[in-house]
Structure 1
Amino acid sequence: MNDLDLNTLLGAEDDEGQTRRRTRGSSKRGDGRRRRRRRNRGRFLAPLLAFVVLAGIIGGGGYYGYLWLSDALVPDDYTGQGAGEVVIEIKDGQNASEVAEELERQGVVASARAFTNAIANAGMSDKLQPGSYKLRKQIPAASAVEMLAPGKRLFAKVTIKEGLRLSDTLTTLAKETGRPVKEFTAAAKDAGDLDLPSYAKGKLEGYAFPATYEFQPKTTPAQMLAQMVQRFNQTAEKVDLEGGAKALGHTPHEIVVIASIVQAEAGRTEDMPKIARVIYNRLERKPQMKLEMDSTVMYALGKYGTAATFAETKTKHPYNTYRNLGLPPGPIVNPGDHALEAALNPAKGDWLWFVATDPKSNVTKFASTEAQRQELLAEYRRNGG
C-alpha cells in the first residue's frame, strides 16, 4: 500500500471522524437551541401570565371601583308616587342644602344630594320660599322639587272686610283659620307684642287693618294680628297719617277715630270725603255741635246698623255722641285706606248733616240747613226708612 492509499485511508477516516464530530456537535447545538427556545418561552409566558393576573385584578377592582364611583355620582333616589303625607316647613333664610337635609330626615327623599341635584337642574336652588308645604314620603327628588314650588304653599286665605269691629274680625279669623276664637281674643288683649303705634294707646280696635291675608298653618293668632297691625302701619306711612293729622290740628288717633265713623256711616266710597267734612264742621262749629252719629250709639250698645232709635240715643255711654261732645274715646270699626284718606282729605263744603235717603241704593245726601235736613228725612221715610 503506497502512501497515497494510506493518506487516502487516513483522510477518509479523518473525514469520517470529522463528520461524526460534526454530527455529534450538531446534535448538541440542536439540543441547546431547543433548550434556549424552551427558556425563551418560559421568559415570555411568565410576564404574560402576570399581566393576565394583574389585568384580572385591575379589571375586578375597576368594576367595583366603577360601582363605587357610580354610587358616588348617582345618589340614592326613590321612584314611584310615594305614600303618606308630611308637612315640611321652610324657614326664612334656609338654603337648598338645609331643606334637602330636612327632606331626607323626614323620609321624603332617599338622599339629600338627590334633592340638591334635582333642584339645581330645575334652576330653583335660590327660589325656595318660606312657608309650609304638604309632600308625600318616599318620592323622587324631582317630584319633591315640584311640590315645593311657591304656588304649592299651604296657607289660610282670610279676607277681613272694611268696617268690621274688632270682635267680628277675631271671629272671622277664628272661622277661616280653624283656631279657637279665645286665642285671638287673648292675643288682642295682650297687645304689647303687636307693634301698635304709640297713639293707639294699647288698643287694637281700629288698627287691625282690613285686607286679604295669607297665613301659614303654624302662624299663631298673635302673629296674625301683628301682621294686620303691620299692614296698618304701612298704610299710615303711605297716607302720611301723622303729618296729615298735624296739618288738620288733630292727633293721629283722632284721625283714625274719624275714619272709623266715616267707614261705618258711608254706604259708598264716593261719599266718604263729604261725611268726613260733616264731622269736621260739627267739631269746629262755635259753639261746638254734638256729632250725633248713630253708628257710635250702636257700637255702645253692641248692636249693628246706622239708625238708632230715640230711646237708644239717650243711652249713657262714652261712645254715645248724642250725649257727649267731641269724638268718642276710640275707633268703632277698623277703617280701610279709603276712609283714612277721606279723614285726611275731607271734601270742601258747609254741610252739617247727611242722610242715607235710600237704604236700598246706599245713596247719601247732604244738608247745610235744618230745612234741607228735614226734606232728606222725609225722603228717607218715603223710601222705607
Structure 2
Amino acid sequence: MSELDMDFLLGAEDDDEGRDRRRSRGSGRSGNRRRRRRRNRGRFIAPLLAFIVLAGIIGGGGYFGYQWLRGALVPDDYTGQGKGDVVIEIKEGQSASDVALELERQGVVASAQAFTNAIATAGKSASLQPGSYTMRKGMSAALAVKLLDSGNRLLVRVQIREGLRLSDTLAQLAKQTGKPQKEFLAAARSARALDLPRYAKGKPEGYIFPATYEFQPKDTPADILGKMVERFEQEADKTGLENGAKSLGRTPGEIITIASIIQAEAGRYEDMPKIARVIYNRLQHQPPMKLKMDSTVMYGLGKYRTAATLAETRIDTKYNTYMHEGLPAGPIANPGEHAIEAALSPEKGDWLYFVATDPDSNVTKFATTDAEFKKLLDEYHRNGG
C-alpha cells in the first residue's frame, strides 16, 4: 500500500473520530437544551396547577362562600310585621347588642345583626329604655326598632291622691294594678322590705307617698310600695325634712304626723300654713292645751266623718287628741308635698282655732279667742254643718 493510501486511511479514521466527537458534543448541547426546556415548563406548570386547584375550590365552594359573605354583609332579616305577641323586657344597663341577642333568641327578629344594623341606622342605639314591650315574632328588624320606642312601654299607671289612709291606699293600689290586696297588706307589714326611714319606726302609715306612678307589669306589691317609699324619701330630701324638723325642735316623724293632720284638716292648699300654725300654737301653749283634732279621733275609730260627736271624743284611743295631750301616736294619713312644706314652714300668727265655715266651698276661717271661735261655729252651723 502506498503512502498515499495510508495517509488516506489515516485521514479517514481521523474524520470518523472527529465526526464521532462532534456528534458527541452536539448531543450534549441538545440534551442541555431539552433539560432547560423541561425546567422552564415546570416553572410555568406549578402556578398554573395552583391556580387551577384554587379555581376549583372557589368554584366548588362558591355557593358557600357567597352565603358566608352575604351573611356577614347582609344579615338575615324578616320582611313582614310578624304575628303573635311576645313580651320583651329590657333590663337596666342592657346594651343594644344585649337586646338584639334576646330578640333573636325569642324569634322576634331573624338575626341579632339585622337588629343591630337597623337600630344603628335609626340612630337609637343609646336610647333604649328599660321596661316591658309587646313585640311580634318574625318581624322585620326596622319595625322591631320602632316598637321598642319608650312610648310603647307596657306600664301600669296608678294615681294615689293626697291624704288617703294606708288602708285606703292599699285598696286603691290593688284596684288600679289588678294585684291581690292581700299581697299589698303582706308587703306593708314588712318594714325591712320597704326600706322605711328610721324615724317611721317600722310603720308605713304616712310614708307611702301620694303621687302618680307608672309601674312595670312585673312589679310586685312589695316593689310598688318600695318605690312609693323611695319617692317619699326624695320628697323629704327636697323639702329638707330632717334639718327643718331639727330647727323646729321636732323629729322628722313628728313633722310627718303634723303634716298628716294638716292634710286631713285642710280643704285648700292656701290654708295649710295657717293650720300648721294653729297646731304648733296649741302644742306650745301655756297652760298646756290639747290639740282636739276631729281627724285624729276619726282615724283612731276607723271612721271617716269630718266632725266627731261628743260621745266619740270620749272614746279612749291613742289617737284621741281630745283626751291626750300632744301629738297622736303617729301619722293618720299619707301627706303630700304641700302639707309637708306647711308643717316645716308654718305661717306666723296667734291663731288657736280654725273652722271650715262653708263645707261646700272648703273655706276655712281662723280665730284667736274662744269668743271668735264660737262665732265661726255658728257660721258653720248656718251653712249646714
Q: What's the TM-score once normalised by structure 1's chain length?
A: 0.84
Output the CA distance in 2 between the equivalents of 1:278 and 1:84: 62
Partner residue, 1:146: 146
What does residue 362 of structure 2 align with? Answer: 362
In structure 2, how many angstroms separate the alpha carbons of the residues matched to 1:156 and 1:78?
31
Give the aligned residue type for 1:357: T
> 1:108 aligned to 2:108?
yes
Superposition map of 1:103-252 within 5 A: 103-252=103-252
**In structure 2, how many angstroms separate the alpha carbons of the residues matched to 1:158 and 1:321?**
34
Residues 256 and 57 of structure 1, relative CA distance in 2, 3 Å threshold? closer
AA of the residue aligned to 2:95: N
Quote the Cα distance in structure 1 between the aligned partners of 2:229 and 2:190: 14
Counterparts of 1:206 and 1:336, CA distance in 2: 9
- AA aligned to 1:374 is K
Separation of aligned partners in 2, 1:117 and 1:137: 19
> How do residues 23-62 of structure 1 correspond to structure 2 at under 5 angstroms?
62=62
How far residue 57 of structure 1 moved from its aligned partner, in angstroms, is 7.3
Q: Distance in 2 between matches of 1:171 and 1:187?
A: 13
- Alpha carbons of structure 1 residues 345 and 62: separation in structure 2 relative to 1, 3 Å: same
Q: Partner of 1:117: helix, strand, or coil?
A: helix
Alignment of 1:322-361 (within 5 A): 322-361=322-361
Counterpart AA for 2:85: E
Distance 2:255 2:55 in 1: 91
- The separation in 1 between residues aligned to 2:102 and 2:376, in whole angstroms, is 68
Whole-angstrom distance in 1 between the partners of 2:56 and 2:223: 68
Structure 2 residue identity aligned to 1:176? Q
Aligned to 2:76: 76
Alpha-carbon distance between aligned partners in 2 of 1:101 and 1:221, rounded to the nearest angstrom: 31
**Alpha-carbon deviations, 1:194-232, whole Å to 9, x = none?**
121111101000000111111001111111111111111
2:354 and 2:311 mapped to 1: Cα distance?
21
Residues 341 and 52 of structure 1: is their aligned pair in 2 closer, same or farther, counting only changes over 3 Å?
closer
Counterpart of 1:365 in 2: which secondary structure? strand
> Residue 135 of structure 2 aligns to a residue in which SS?
strand
Residues 56 and 170 (structure 1), Cα distance of their counterparts in 2 relative to 1, 3 Å cut? same
What residue number does 1:272 align with?
272
CA–CA distance in structure 1, aligned partners of residues 225 and 136 of structure 2:
32
Superposition TM-score, scaled by structure 2 size: 0.84
Q: CA deviation at 1:80?
A: 1.4
Report the alpha carbon displacement of residue 55 of structure 1 after superposing the two structures with TM. 6.8
Instruction: Give the Cα–Cα distance (whole angstroms) in 2 for the partners of residues 54 and 224 of structure 1.
Output: 66
Structure 1 residues not aligned, in runs of 5+:
1-42
Equivalent position of 2:6 in the other structure: none
Match for residue 372 of structure 2?
A: 372
SS of 1:136 mapped into structure 2: strand
Give how far 1:271 is off: 0.1
- 2:66 is the counterpart of 1:96: no
Shift in Å, 1:52: 10
Code of the aligned partner of 2:203: K
Q: For the aligned residues, what is the CA RMSD?
A: 2.0
Looking at structure 2, the residues matched to 287 and 107 of structure 1 have their Cα atoms a distance apart, in angstroms, of: 77
Please report how far the alpha carbon of residue 142 of structure 1 lies from its aligned counterpart in structure 2 after TM superposition.
Answer: 0.8
Aligned twin of 2:308: 308
2:356 alignment partner, SS class: strand
* Counterpart-to-counterpart distance in 1, 2:53 and 2:292: 108
Rounded Cα–Cα distance in structure 1 between residues aligned with 2:281 and 2:201: 26
1:231-269 alpha-carbon deviations (Å, 9 max, x no partner): 111111111111111111111110100000000000000
Provide the C-alpha distance between the structure 1 equivalents of 2:135 and 2:79, rounded to a whole number of angstroms: 15
1-structure distance, mates of 2:71, 2:101: 19
Asked whether 1:289 is paired with 2:289, we answer yes
Read off the aligned partner of 2:122 and give its amino acid letter.
Answer: A
What is the CA-CA distance between 1:62 and the residue it aligns to?
Answer: 4.7
SS of the residue aligned with 1:354? strand
Alpha-carbon distance change, 93 to 58 in structure 1, aligned in 2, over 3 angstroms: closer
- Kindly state the Cα deviation for residue 72 of structure 1 after the two structures are TM-superposed: 2.6
Distance change in 2, residues 1:58/1:93 (3 Å): closer
Letter paired with 2:73: L
- Percent identical across equivalent pairs? 71
Q: Are 1:321 and 2:340 matched, yes or no?
A: no
Residues 349 and 60 (structure 1), Cα distance of their counterparts in 2 relative to 1, 3 Å cut: same
Aligned residues between the structures: 340
